[in-house]
Amino acid sequence: MQIMSAPALDWTQHLTKNSQGLKRSAVREILKVAVRPEVISFAGGLPAPECFPSELIASASARLLDKDHCRSSLQYGESEGLAELREHLGTSVSRPMEEVLITSGAQQGLDLLGRVLLAPGDVIAVENPTYLGALGAWRPQGVRFAPVPIDGDGLVVEALEKLLETERPKFFYTMPNFHNPAGAVLSLERREQLISLAEKHALLILEDDPYGDLRYDGEAMPSLLSLATARGLADRVVHLRSFSKVVAPGFRVGWLTAPPVLHDALVKVKQSADFHPNMLGQRIMLEVIRDDSFPAHLDHLREVYGARRDAMDDAVSRHFPGGTTWTTPQGGMFLMAQLPAGIDAASSLPTALEAKVAYVTIDNFTVDGSGQDAVRLNFSNASPERIEEGIARLGDLFRSLA
């Protein structure tokens, strides 16, 4: 008997207009190629896997999965996240645990915030360039991004002030520590100015800080949340953090603080998104960060990544074409290099991949498509030797285009 097959469904017709317009993250697509072992990748924001605190994680997992503990480690949990973890994190930023929400990575925090705060036509003020994952989370909501320039000291606050004369953004999204992709740190003076703007304009600030613990030199800066709290303005700041860069991203454990009404709305959307964060992941995270050896783990990360930052800084200065400019980052995972005029790094990416080296261009991070002639280079995920080799290959390529 012959089986007749029905015509295939035209699935695009079933997708909403919004879903049809969605684009895959260019960076995540590059990462698929870049993970091949023969490719030296500066493309992702990947921590060094050899630095994962695997022994701590293994012993915590063994304890949490024994027969006495596994009931609570593997059971459904509270939507807000594990109470003990929230209390610990709230204390670390001097906020009550009621304001802490554990998220599935900081990325989920960005997505949930978009869901409860944004409607089509809303304006969001963002640094330009900004974290492309935030643009990706909010673009589908039909919002308009108002770009604000940054320089070596982070956000140009006067430019935001000027923007606020004509626009009423729903919020301003910023990365004050080791900006992704620019690597810049917002100066203390500008932090204070930004809080003053938030006060004057009743502006909500989203402070995204996954890299703050990864400082290799210079003085630590107070968070925007702490500065705002000191001035009785804590309700102006949502503070987003993550364990992805300092423990391991595979756990997908991040967190945020939000004022009570916003916190409640976020919990409600989280309930429909995934009920609650990963229970075992949260419990392991709590054990890891409370362990006596955790500060030594952070010191080790800073030592390893600081050496990699130095290796990249040095290699870029020797191999990239004259006229390239960059600011040596004091921490984080990225160095952004502006190539001399006329070098189109975006269209050169396939040639770079043939030479087995990967990067991402800054146009992926801008709201106006600028930045094809600038690159973001990740230094945390390659040894100093691989950094030297990869930057030499890239230097050959860019010099041939200069």
Using CB under 6 A, pick the residue from 47, 77, 105, 176 that binds ligand PLP. 105
The two structure tokens encoding residue 323: 């006229």
398 is a contact residue toward ligand PLP (CB under 6 A): no
Least distance (Å) from ligand PLP to the CB of residue 40?
20
User: Least separation, in Å, of the C-beta of 117 and ligand PLP?
Assistant: 17
Site for ligand PLP in 314-373 (CB under 6 A): none
**Cα-atom radius of gyration of the chain, to the nearest Å?**
22
Dist CA 401 CA 201 (whole Å): 47
Position 42 contacts ligand PLP (CB under 6 A): no
Q: Shortest gap between Cβ of 288 and ligand PLP (angstroms)?
A: 15
Q: According to CB under 6 A, which one of 77, 129, 212, 249 is a site residue for ligand PLP?
A: 249
Residue 360 or 397 having the CB closest to ligand PLP = 360
Sorted by sequence, the CB contacts under 8 Å of residue 209 that are 6+ apart come out as: 175, 176, 177, 223, 239, 240, 241
φ, ψ at 142 (rounded to 5°): 70, 35
Name the segment binding ligand PLP (CB under 6 A); options: 99-107, 145-153, 188-196, 348-356.
99-107
Taking the complex as a whole, how short is the minimal distance between the CB of residue 236 and ligand PLP, in angstroms? 20
In angstroms, how far is the first alpha carbon of the chain from the final one? 67
Please identify, among the stretches 100-108, 157-165, 199-207, 375-383, the one whose residues bind ligand PLP according to the rule CB under 6 A.
100-108
Residue 361 is encoded by which pair of tokens?
């261009």
* Residue 208 touches ligand PLP, criterion: CB under 6 A: yes
Query: Any idea of the CA torsion for 122, 125, 131, 134, to the nearest 10 degrees?
Result: -20
Helix H or strand E segment including 162: helix 157-166
Q: Pick from 41, 79, 107, 330 the residue near ligand PLP by CB under 6 A.
A: 107
Name the residue nearer to ligand PLP (CB basis): 80 or 388.
80
Our CB check for ligand PLP shows the closer of 223 and 244 to be: 244
Contact, 126 vs 120, CB < 8 A? no
- Find the DSSP H helices in 202-278: 224-230, 260-274
The stretches of 231-380 forming alpha helices (DSSP H) are 260-274, 279-290, 294-319, 345-354
Q: Please report how close the Cβ of residue 379 comes to ligand PLP at its closest, in angstroms.
A: 14
The least distance separating ligand PLP from the CB of residue 169, rounded to whole angstroms, comes to 19
Cβ–Cβ under 8 Å, residues 364 and 27: yes
Pick 133 or 371: Cβ nearer ligand PLP: 133
Part of the chain binding ligand PLP (CB under 6 A), chosen from 24-32, 102-110, 228-236, 302-310? 102-110
Smallest distance, ligand PLP to C-beta of residue 213, A: 13
CA–CA gap between residue 201 and residue 169 (Å, rounded): 10
CA separation for the pair 367, 127 (Å, rounded): 9
Give residue for tokens 């990249």: 312
Query: What is d(CA 269, CA 291) in angstroms, rounded to the nearest whole number?
Result: 33
CB 162 within 8 A of CB 193: no
Q: Where are the beta strands (DSSP E) in 16-132?
A: 40-41, 100-103, 123-128
Q: Which x/- pattern over 122-161 shows residues binding ligand PLP (rule: CB under 6 A)?
A: ---------x-x----------------------------
* DSSP three-state, residue 121: coil
Neighbour-count burial for 195-216, b at 16+ CB within 10 Å, e otherwise: bebbeebebbbbbbbbbbbbbb
Q: Does the protein bind ligand PLP through residue 210 (CB under 6 A)?
A: yes
Residue type, 276: H
Rounded to the nearest whole angstrom, what is the least distance from the CB of residue 237 to ligand PLP in the complex? 16
Among 128, 180, 327, 361, binds ligand PLP (CB under 6 A): 180
Judged by CB under 6 A, the stretch of 101-109, 217-225, 264-272, 312-320 that binds ligand PLP is: 101-109
**Residue 105 or residue 277: which is nearer to ligand PLP going by CB?**
105
Which CB, 86 or 319, lies closer to ligand PLP? Answer: 86
Indicate the residue among 133 and 281 with the shorter CB distance to ligand PLP.
Answer: 133
Contact status: 176 vs ligand PLP (CB under 6 A): no
List the one residue from 34, 42, 45, 174 that touches ligand PLP (CB under 6 A): 45
Cβ of 351: how many Cβ atoms within 10 Å? 12
378, 334 Cβ separation under 8 angstroms: yes
Binding residues vs ligand PLP (CB under 6 A):
45, 105-107, 131, 133, 175, 180, 208, 210, 242, 244, 249, 254
